[in-house]
Amino acid sequence: MSSSLRRGALAAAAIAFSIASLAACGAGNDAQTLQVKPDHAATSVGDIKIQNAIVVTQPDKKSGGPAVIAATVFNTGRTAQTLDSVNVEGVGTAALSPAKGKGKLTIPAGESMVIGGKGNTSAVLSNPGTALKDGSAQKVTFSFSKTGDVGLRAFVVPAESYFTQWGPGNVPSPTTPASPTATATAGATTTGAPTATAGH
C-alpha cells in the first residue's frame, strides 16, 4: 500500500472514531446530557413529585416580616392525597391555606397543586426570625396523607426580581411620620359631603 493510501486510511479511521465518540455523548440512556440536573429543588417519592421548591423571604432583610414556601406538587397516583403540613427545618411549620375556601389541601389523582403566588395555595412562615439566610439551602419537609414525609433542600431567595410574584403577600412598609400638610388635610371635609355646624 502506498504512503498516500495509508495516510488516507488513517484519516478516515480518525474521522469515524470522532463521529462515534460524539454520537455516544448525545444518545442512549446513559447520555451525558441526561446527567444534567436542574438548578431548582425537585424530588419524587411514590406518587408525589415536588418541583420548583423555594423559600421566599422579605426583600428587605430588616423588615422582619413573614416568609413563604413556593412549590408545585404533582399527584401521579390513582387516589387523592392531602398535604397535611410543610415544615422548614430550624424555623417551624408553615400555616397552610387553600386557594379557595377552607378545608384540607387536597391534590386529586393525576393533578397538581401550586403553592405560592397570587390566587394559589399558601404556606406562610409567620415568624422566621434569623433562621433563613438568603442564598442558603434549607431543608423543607412536605407531609402527605398517604405518601408520608417528602423532604428536599430548597433555596432561600428574597422576594425580588422574578421571585416578587411568589413572595409574601403582606410585605411590611416603612412607617414615616406624618407631615404638617398631611395632618392639616386629614381634618378637612370632602367636597360635596354635608358639614356639621356647631350649635345646631
Give domain status of residue 189, yes or no. no
Give the CA radius of gyration of the chain. Answer: 29
Q: For residue 80, give the CATH number of its domain.
A: 2.60.40.1890
pLDDT at 177: 36
For the chain, report the end-to-end CA distance as a whole number of angstroms.
125
pLDDT truncated to tens, each residue of the chain (200 aa)? 555 544 544 444 444 444 444 444 444 555 454 444 445 678 999 999 999 999 998 887 776 778 999 999 999 999 999 999 999 999 999 999 998 878 899 999 999 999 998 889 999 998 887 888 888 899 999 999 999 999 999 999 988 765 665 555 544 333 333 333 333 333 333 333 333 334 44
Nearest to 77 by CA among 100, 102, 53, 44: 44
Q: Does 128 lie in the same domain as 30?
A: no
Question: Distance between CA atoms of 159 and 171, rounded to whole angstroms?
Answer: 9
Q: Does 138 lie in the same domain as 54?
A: yes
The region that residue 18 occupies, defined by phi over 0 for left and psi between -120 and 50 for alpha, beta otherwise, is: alpha
Lookup result for grid cell 419537609: 141
pLDDT at 65: 79
Label residue 71 exposed, middle or buried (CB < 10 Å: 0-12, 13-18, 19+): buried
Q: Does 49 lie in the same domain as 147?
A: yes
SS3 label, residue 186: helix
pLDDT at 127: 84
pTM of the model: 0.64
Neighbouring-strand partners of residue 71:
115
pLDDT at 129: 79
Neighbouring-strand partners of residue 88:
92, 140
Q: Which domain holds residue 21?
A: 9-35
Q: Does 103 lie in the same domain as 24?
A: no
Percentage of the residues of the chain whose pLDDT score is greater than 70: 59
Q: Does 19 lie in the same domain as 72?
A: no
Q: Does 18 lie in the same domain as 100?
A: no
